[in-house]
Amino acid sequence: MGNEYRIALAGNPNTGKSTLFNALTGLRQHTGNWAGKTVSLAQGSVEYKNKTFQFIDLPGTYSLFSNSKDEEVARNYIVFEKPDVTLVVLDATSLERNFNLALQVLEMTKNVIICINLIDIAEKQGIEIKERLLTNRLGVPVIKISARNKIGFPLLLDTIDRIVTGAIECQPLVLQYPDEIEEKIRQIEPHVRAIVGDHVSARWVALRLLDGDESLLDEINRLITLKGAS
């Protein structure tokens, strides 16, 4: 029997993320609670090459800086629940803002696929996307799809498969900040690593602490208690 893998779907609102989720999973959906939290997220499964991909539809958000409950939910899932792959769905017609979220996800986790959706509409508007170049720049697979017309699904599923089997290794771009910020990250990062270990990206936590993200503290304390207990 195949193994089960969890694939989280993140993205801006109005990018067709839910359309993709519905198109992939069809009627094999249910609402699941996770880790004793009251938040429920839609889940749906797809069978592929003797494996089960369990897709989780995260709330659509503009960023993952925990400015709202939805952002916190999405962020906590990606960082602390550690899905096997995080799929970031972008709107091909407004990539400039959409890349923002993608870059944030790349700071949080390693196994990421960038899914550029609505490619059919973008092409009609004369937008050309060089996905190879973007793959090189970002260090993770970039795939063009149209969730409405089910274009690009075989490649998408195959890419997920190759990530979970280790055939592709993601090397997400490490975004370099101005020197002044990098210096501060360097001061904090070793201390963070001493607390959280390798479970979450110490660089990311350091950045969030500098940014003043207080809501993260509770989550990290919970993580430490969990680890201490096990």
Partner 1 sequence: MVQPKIIKLVDGEKGNIIKITDLQLDGVMRRRLLDLGFIKGAQVEVVRKSPLGDPIAFRVSQTTIALRKEESSKIEGELISNGE
Partner 2 sequence: MHIEQLYKEAQKLSTKQLRDDIVQHLHERSHLLCQEGITYNKAKKDTKTEKLDAIFTSPIFGFPIMMIMLGTVFYITIAGANVPSSLLADFFGWLESQLTALFTFLHAPEWLHGMLILGLFRGTAWVIAVMLPPMAIFFPTFALLENYGYLPRVAFNMDRLFKKVGAHGKQSLTMAMGFGCNAAAVISTRIIESPRERMLAILTNNFVPCNGRWGTLIVFASLFMAAGFTGGMKSLVTTGILVGIVLFGILITFFVSWFLSKTALKGIPTHYTLELPPYRKPKIFDTVIRASATKSWSVLVRAVKVAAPAAILTWVFANIYIGDSSILLHAVNFLDPFGRLLGLDGYIMMAFILGLPANEIVLPILLMGYLSTGSLTEVKSMVDLKKIFLDHGWTWLTALNMMLFSLLHYPCGTTLVNIYKETKSKKWTFMAFLIPTVIAIVIPLMITQTVRFFGWI
How far apart, in whole angstroms, are the C-alpha atoms of residue 193 and residue 81? 18
Whichever of 52 and 100 has its CB closer to partner 1, that residue is 100
Would the CA dihedral through 61, 56, 83, 229 be positive or negative?
positive
Q: Report the site for partner 2 in 150-169 (rule: CB under 8 A).
A: none
Of all helices (H) and strands (E), which one includes residue 124? Answer: helix 119-124
Nearer to partner 1, 95 or 185 (CB): 95
| Cα gap 115→212, rounded to integer Å | 30
Dist. CA 168–CA 111, nearest whole Å:
10
Minimum distance from CB of 19 to partner 1 (Å)? Answer: 18
Sign of the alpha-carbon dihedral angle for 127, 103, 160, 67? negative
Q: Provide the mask over 54-93, with x wherever binding to partner 1 is found by CB under 8 A and - wherever it is not.
A: --------xx-x-x-------------------------x
Q: Residue 158: enclosing H or E segment and its boundaries?
A: helix 153-164
State which residue, 74 or 164, has the beta carbon closest to partner 2: 74
Interface with partner 2 by CB under 8 A: which range of 44-52, 152-160, 161-169, 211-219? 211-219
Q: Is 97 in the site for partner 1 (CB under 8 A)?
A: yes
- Tell me the C-alpha distance between 155 and 132, whole Å: 14
Task: Give the C-alpha distances (Å, rounded to integers) separating 111 from 45, 171, 215, 228.
Answer: 19, 8, 24, 26
Is 129 a binder of partner 1 (CB under 8 A)? no
- Determine if 95 is a binding residue for partner 1 (CB under 8 A): yes
Rule CB under 8 A: is residue 215 a binding residue for partner 1? no
Q: Is 128 in the site for partner 2 (CB under 8 A)?
A: yes
- The distance of closest approach from Cβ of residue 67 to partner 2 in the complex, given in angstroms and rounded to an integer, is 7
Count CB atoms within 10 A of the CB of residue 22. Answer: 16
Give the interface with partner 2 as residue ranges (CB under 8 A): 13-14, 19, 22-23, 26-27, 29, 38, 59, 67-70, 93, 95-100, 103-104, 118, 121, 124-131, 133-134, 137-138, 148-149, 175, 177-178, 181, 184, 187-188, 191-192, 194-195, 206-207, 209-212, 214, 217, 220-221, 224
